[in-house]
């Protein structure tokens, strides 16, 4: 097995578990579903799962056309082939992280398909490229090598990953625009999909956003003098909205031109916060996130920090002060 390639694994696959990271976004779940559907069409038994939340986020439900997603409780302890999508470290798999070592111990293969700079190469096989804008780009490459047909459901999953991880193609390379064109030619409705995945919010989003933005503060001297803008989303503020509404707050905060770095602190418990970090182009926030136990991309990263609001803000301030410049 040690000399086999990722493509060899996919060609020989008969029983496959594909995992996305906790609180999956469109790239993580879309990549897993696209690759899972292609393998299912080749005759493999396929299941797709993630540890949190208990259900597919509402905005992503239209991606699971074939009903491949199963509850975390139904994921076997080990699999002949385990594929971890868009997940740089096993910890991001949450309660399903133990499947990685269990699969290795049982003699199975663990294929990591990811585009994060912080990926630790924790599998037995890797298809990792941190220059790819989305894991969906890598999955499309694998599907092409596999000779898999690009039907509309597969194309829809991949397009969802591309449109979200490139900020609506603002950060897409020419090759990624060409890939998107192929997906549109396969039948994807870009307006409908973008609305479902990105732009469709319940009214409760507005009060939540109002409360979050009411906490926003600008610190011009922070982030090595390049400026930090930050906001908090408390449990109370997020009580009536979906996960995707909370995750989207950083896209509003990051639009402020007065700061190089935007940080949004999202409360998960009395003293637990997940932090989304975004940079314009001068500071490597993936290193800052990694120093706090997280990871991500140079300009988009995240971590989980414990403490009071003031304590977690101070920890992020210190991490940004020590982060390398780009």
Q: Which pLDDT band holds residue 243 (cuts at 50, 70, 90)?
A: confident
% of the chain at pLDDT higher than 90: 93
Q: Which residues pair with 276 in a beta bridge?
A: 264, 302
Q: What CA–CA distance (Å, rounded) separates 254 from 274?
A: 16
The pLDDT of residue 193 = 97
Please count the CA atoms within 13 angstroms of the CA of 49 that sit on its side-chain side.
22
- The DSSP symbol for 29 reads H
**Burial state string for 302-313 with b = 16 or more CB within 10 A and e = fewer than 16:** bbbbeeeeeebb
Q: Which residues pair with 277 in a beta bridge?
A: 263, 301
pLDDT digits 0-9 by tens, 80-103: 999 999 999 999 999 999 999 999
Mean per-residue pLDDT of the chain: 96
Q: CATH says 6-199 is which class?
A: alpha beta
Question: Residues spanned by CATH 3.90.1640.10 within the chain?
Answer: 6-199
**How are the residues of the chain apportioned to helix, strand and coil, as percentages rounded to the nearest 5?**
40, 20, 40
* 204-322 CATH fold: Diaminopimelate Epimerase; Chain A, domain 1 (3.10.310)
Average pLDDT of the segment spanning 238-265 = 95
Average pLDDT of the segment spanning 130-148 = 97
**E runs forming strands in 234-271:** 261-269
3-state secondary structure of 117: coil
**E runs forming strands in the chain:** 15-20, 45-49, 81-85, 109-114, 125-128, 217-219, 228-233, 261-269, 272-279, 295-296, 300-306
Q: Which residues pair with 111 in a beta bridge?
A: 83, 125
The pLDDT of residue 1 = 42
Question: Residues spanned by CATH 3.10.310.30 within the chain?
Answer: 204-322
């Amino acid at each position: 097995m040690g000399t086999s390639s990722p493509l060899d694994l996919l060609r020989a696959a008969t029983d496959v578990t594909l995992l996305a990271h906790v609180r999956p976004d469109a790239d993580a779940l879309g990549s897993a579903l696209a690759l899972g559907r292609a393998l299912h069409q080749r005759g493999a038994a396929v299941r797709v799962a993630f540890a949190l939340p208990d259900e597919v986020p509402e905005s992503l439900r239209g991606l699971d056309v074939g009903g491949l997603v199963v509850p975390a409780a139904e994921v076997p302890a080990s699999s002949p082939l385990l594929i971890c999508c868009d997940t740089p470290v096993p910890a991001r798999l949450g309660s399903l992280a133990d499947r990685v070592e269990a699969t290795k111990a049982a003699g199975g293969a663990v294929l990591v398909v990811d585009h994060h700079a912080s990926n630790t190469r924790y599998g037995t096989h890797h298809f990792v490229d941190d220059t790819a804008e989305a894991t969906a780009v890598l999955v499309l490459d694998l599907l092409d090598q596999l000779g898999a047909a690009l039907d509309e459901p597969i194309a829809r999953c991949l397009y969802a990953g591309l449109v979200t991880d490139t900020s609506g193609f603002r950060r897409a390379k020419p090759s990624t625009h060409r890939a998107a064109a192929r997906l549109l030619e396969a039948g994807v409705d870009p307006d409908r999909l973008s609305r479902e995945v990105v732009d469709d919010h319940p009214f409760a989003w507005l009060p939540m956003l109002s409360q979050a933005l009411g906490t926003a503060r600008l610190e011009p001297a922070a982030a090595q003098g390049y400026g930090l803008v930050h906001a908090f989303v408390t449990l109370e503020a997020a009580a009536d909205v979906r996960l995707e509404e909370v995750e989207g707050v950083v896209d509003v905060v990051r639009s402020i031109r007065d700061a190089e770095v935007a940080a949004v602190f999202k409360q998960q418990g009395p003293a637990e916060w997940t932090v989304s970090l975004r940079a314009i182009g001068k500071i490597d926030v993936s290193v800052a996130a990694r120093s706090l136990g997280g990871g991500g991309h140079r300009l988009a990263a995240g971590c989980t920090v414990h403490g009071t609001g003031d304590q977690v803000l101070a920890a992020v301030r210190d991490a940004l002060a020590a982060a390398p410049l780009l």
